[in-house]
Structure 1
Amino acid sequence: MATALVRWLVLGLLAATASGQAVQQCPGQGEITPCVCSVKKNGLDIMCEFTDFTHITKALGVLKKKPNMVIFYLKLRHNNLPKLQSFVFLGMDIRHLTVHNSTLAVIEESSLSSMGKGLTQLDLSQNLLNSVPSTAFRNLHHLLILNLNHNKIIALHTKAFEGLDTLEILTLYENKITSIDPEAFKGLEKKLKRLNLGGNDLHSVPQAALSILDNLRKLEIHENSISIITEGDFEGLSNLDSLGLAYNHLREVPARVFSHLKLLNSLELEGNAIARIDDEAFVGLEENLQYLRLGDNNLHSIPSNALRKLHRLRHLDLRANNISVVSEDAFSLFGDSITFLNLQKNSIKVLPALVFENLNSLEILNLQNNKLKHMPEELMEPIVDTLRVVDIMDNPLICDCQLRWYKDWLKNLKDKDDDFMQKKNTLCTMIQEHREYTVQNIPLDRMNCIGKNIMGRSSQTTGNSIKTQPESIIKIGFAICNLIYWVY
């Protein structure tokens, strides 16, 4: 039995080798210390941490002597490695290379050139690079992802990424970039799909440099110092799906500024100082925009006129503005498709009775931390059947009969095994008793509530109070008529 098993294993190894799939094995224990090795499905995973150039070079020397070795991951992290010297990886088949948080400041021209045929991902994040090492990148013709986050790069010079004609993702988050040459991205226009320029010091949208990237799907320029955007800033980005402009210094959104972005699905504008949104601000986005984030700005009202054109909008975030008044038609003509509405951390005191009438698809409503005292049944009636979450915590709610819908709605959710809302500790104040109750436990039996609630159940007062059943009303009517007849 053992002999047969050995023969089967040998035949398997021979078959794998014959088909070109060389069996990968780690070097012997201690050969590449302090680096460590593990075997992955696609090759070896080599990790060298908290060491220096001398030890890393010695370990690489051992690895170079192993024939047909495929290193799927080579991770050099938290090291003292100020320079990548020429041909340091010569003779090695590396698919993913990471040099992270290793004091790297210089990459010599020929240090990466030997990996041009195999390298697909390169992570040089959290180092000390002050410019893009263009000459070192020039021969990486199969690179798909380049991560230069958290370096000291101050400018992107002309043709900074020349030769990276297969690159799909480029991230430059948290550098010190103040300027981008109009031809900085020359050569990336065929494949680049995602570009992250967030966390830099750009004062305007680098329109000339971006305009050639007509295959770009996601652009992130959040956390910069952009104070003005104008019509034409995004011209050329005809396939853009997502645009992040959050946490800049914008004060207004002018007319037609996004008109070239016909396919835009997600727009992030939160964390600016936006006080005005032109009625024509979202022209061009009518057919595809579904996610709009306008939280943490300085809006004093819901920009309904600008939003009315967005008839496919699903997610609308208006949290943490200065909205105090909501008009009855605030969501008319564009609310049919909204599933998520966030109005938390505003100053809303009253909501008109029909304000939610058009929100036929609403599933999540956040009204937390406003100044609402009452949540009438008629207010919630148009949306109560579709709602899965309604957050009314941290409002000065008064315990009254108008809140009884909430208790029944929660019971209905619990019956559907959806108990997320049960955990919310929403409080209201019983004025007569000067006491707080959770809204789930308001003492309806002592509140003399009359009529039907919006869940369709009949309500009644306690003790000798009159029941609101139709039969009771008819009997009372006949009794009054008889009394009048005998008196007169």
Structure 2
Amino acid sequence: IGLTQLDLSQNNLGSVPSPALKNLHHLLILNLNHNKISVVHSKAFEGLDTLEILTLYENKITIIEDGAFKGLSKKLRRLNIGGNGLNAVPKAVGHLDNLRKLEMQENSISHISEKDFEGLVKLDSLGLAHNHLRNVPPKAFSHLKELNSLELDGNSITFIDPEAFVGLEVSLQYLRLGDNNIHTIPSDALKRLHRLRHLDLRSNNISSIAEDAFTGFGDSITFLNLQKNNIKSLPIMGFDNLNSLETLNLQNNKLIHIPEEIMEPIVDTLRVVDIMDNPLLCDCELRWYKDWLKNLKDKDDEMMQKKRTVCTMEHEHREYPVQSMPLDRMNCVGKNMERTSASSAPSLIASALIPPLIMFNCL
């Protein structure tokens, strides 16, 4: 058997060394990362008909000619052309009808359209993070019937057309829209995504959540990240449709209150909740969280001490650990919100990479 893997990264190559490659008829993986290639010419990889993985990350590519990947369509399943100077999706990728993963992150792509992905019928993962996209047009991904993961984070997206995700209804499970300029949860576009599990909207300019924000697609979501937005309040019925939610991140927003009735519909499935770095007030609603914390069987005591959960008494301008709220001065009345049975508390998971399971912090 001949050579199956070839690493030519970091060699200051100014072009694809096509003559040296054309007789490598058993090659499966070719790494051309971190070179100085600026143009990928037509038939650059001719003869490499067994190639499965091709990486051209962090070159200086601005042009990929239409026939650049000729001969690779039968076997190529992963292509990385990220970290270059492309300002549009190259037409050449449309011929790769067996491609499963396409990485185009960290380029200068400013627009996408339906025809850009027309031939990628088997694509499972599409990476467009950290480009210059300002909107997601209608039916942009309609040919990608098998797309499972879509990364659009780190762009400048302000608008997502209601028909942007047409064609992804039964396939898309992971959607990353963080670090954009989205002002509201794009519910009209998302509601058709009936199998969506992971939704990341971190670091946008979302200031409010509509009552029906998750209607139509919320029942399949297990992971929801809304950290680093400007959310000031949560709608009473806002989480009612999130029947499968396990992880909720609301860290670093502008939340003052977290009413019990908002969390009640999702409390039985939640495993991780992060509400640190919010200007939370010590109020009677937090008594319920205090008792919930007390009953957690899997809490990490050391981590809880490092990041002590605090809230502020409104008239005292003083911080209290949630566990030490002065309930005797808070005049809490009404229904009993305590969960006294450890067996009824969810078994939450703590991780060194994840902040305390339920965290309260005050700016």
Whether the TM-score (by the shorter chain) exceeds 0.5 is yes
Residue identity opposite 2:89 in structure 1:
V
Deviation at 1:419, TM superposition (A): 3.1
Partners of 2:291 and 2:339 within 8 A in 1: no
- 1:316 counterpart SS class: strand
Deviation at 1:210, TM superposition (A): 1.0
Provide the residue aligned with 2:38 in structure 1: 154
Match among 53, 57, 61 for residue 169 of structure 1 = 53
Residues 431, 216 of structure 1: CA spacing in aligned structure 2 closer, same or farther, 3 A cutoff? same
Alignment pair present for 1:268 and 2:145: no
Aligned equivalents of 2:113, 2:9: Cα separation in 1: 32
Partners of 2:295 and 2:340 within 8 A in 1: no
Residue identity opposite 1:349 in structure 2:
K
Match among 213, 229, 244 for residue 96 of structure 2 = 213
Residue identity opposite 1:322 in structure 2:
N
Provide the residue aligned with 2:326 in structure 1: 443
Alignment pair present for 1:296 and 2:182: no
Aligned equivalents of 1:143, 1:454: Cα separation in 2: 64
Provide the residue aligned with 1:64 in structure 2: none
Aligned equivalents of 2:83, 2:112: Cα separation in 1: 17
Deviation at 1:365, TM superposition (A): 0.4
Residues 205, 397 of structure 1: CA spacing in aligned structure 2 closer, same or farther, 3 A cutoff? same
Partners of 1:381 and 1:454 within 8 A in 2: no
Measured against aligned partners, the alpha-carbon deviations of 1:29-73 in whole angstroms (never above 9, x if no partner) come to: xxxxxxxxxxxxxxxxxxxxxxxxxxxxxxxxxxxxxxxxxxxxx
Partners of 1:291 and 1:313 within 8 A in 2: yes
TM-score (norm 2): 0.90
Deviation at 1:456, TM superposition (A): 4.6
Provide the residue aligned with 1:419 in structure 2: 300
Deviation at 1:445, TM superposition (A): 3.9
Aligned equivalents of 2:250, 2:309: Cα separation in 1: 12
Alignment pair present for 1:277 and 2:160: yes
Aligned equivalents of 2:280, 2:6: Cα separation in 1: 55
Deviation at 1:418, TM superposition (A): 4.2
Alignment pair present for 1:322 and 2:205: yes
Match among 368, 377, 382 for residue 251 of structure 2 = 368
Residue identity opposite 1:408 in structure 2:
D
Which segment drifts farther, 399-408 or 446-455?
446-455
Residues 190, 452 of structure 1: CA spacing in aligned structure 2 closer, same or farther, 3 A cutoff? same
Mapping 1:80-159, distance limit 5 Å: 117-159=1-43
Partners of 1:167 and 1:192 within 8 A in 2: yes
Alignment pair present for 1:307 and 2:194: no
Alignment pair present for 1:357 and 2:357: no
Deviation at 1:437, TM superposition (A): 1.7
Where does structure 2 lack aligned partners over 5 or more consecutive residues?
342-363
Provide the residue aligned with 1:194 in structure 2: 78
Alignment pair present for 1:387 and 2:246: no
Measured against aligned partners, the alpha-carbon deviations of 1:66-97 in whole angstroms (never above 9, x if no partner) come to: xxxxxxxxxxxxxxxxxxxxxxxxxxxxxxxx
Partners of 1:270 and 1:296 within 8 A in 2: yes
Measured against aligned partners, the alpha-carbon deviations of 1:303-354 in whole angstroms (never above 9, x if no partner) come to: 0000000010000000000010111110111100101000011001011111
Partners of 1:155 and 1:177 within 8 A in 2: yes
Provide the residue aligned with 1:185 in structure 2: 69
Deviation at 1:163, TM superposition (A): 1.0
Deviation at 1:191, TM superposition (A): 0.6
Deviation at 1:453, TM superposition (A): 4.6
Residue identity opposite 2:46 in structure 1:
E
Aligned equivalents of 2:94, 2:337: Cα separation in 1: 54
- 1:200 counterpart SS class: coil
- 2:220 counterpart SS class: coil
Match among 211, 221, 226 for residue 109 of structure 2 = 226
Aligned equivalents of 1:440, 1:191: Cα separation in 2: 59
Partners of 2:287 and 2:337 within 8 A in 1: no
Mapping 1:41-52, distance limit 5 Å: none
TM-score (norm 1): 0.68
Provide the residue aligned with 2:346 in structure 1: none
Where does structure 1 lack aligned partners over 5 or more consecutive residues?
1-116, 459-488
Deviation at 1:434, TM superposition (A): 1.8
Aligned equivalents of 1:231, 1:453: Cα separation in 2: 55
Residues 293, 453 of structure 1: CA spacing in aligned structure 2 closer, same or farther, 3 A cutoff? farther
Alignment pair present for 1:342 and 2:225: yes
Residue identity opposite 1:145 in structure 2:
I
Deviation at 1:409, TM superposition (A): 2.2
Residue identity opposite 2:12 in structure 1:
L
Larger radius of gyration: 1
Aligned equivalents of 1:456, 1:439: Cα separation in 2: 15
Provide the residue aligned with 2:355 in structure 1: none
Provide the residue aligned with 1:253 in structure 2: 136
Partners of 1:404 and 1:453 within 8 A in 2: no
Partners of 2:287 and 2:338 within 8 A in 1: no
Measured against aligned partners, the alpha-carbon deviations of 1:339-375 in whole angstroms (never above 9, x if no partner) come to: 1000011001011111000101111100011000000
Residue identity opposite 1:125 in structure 2:
S
- Identity within the alignment, %: 75
- 2:219 counterpart SS class: coil
Q: Pairwise CA RMSD of aligned residues?
A: 1.6
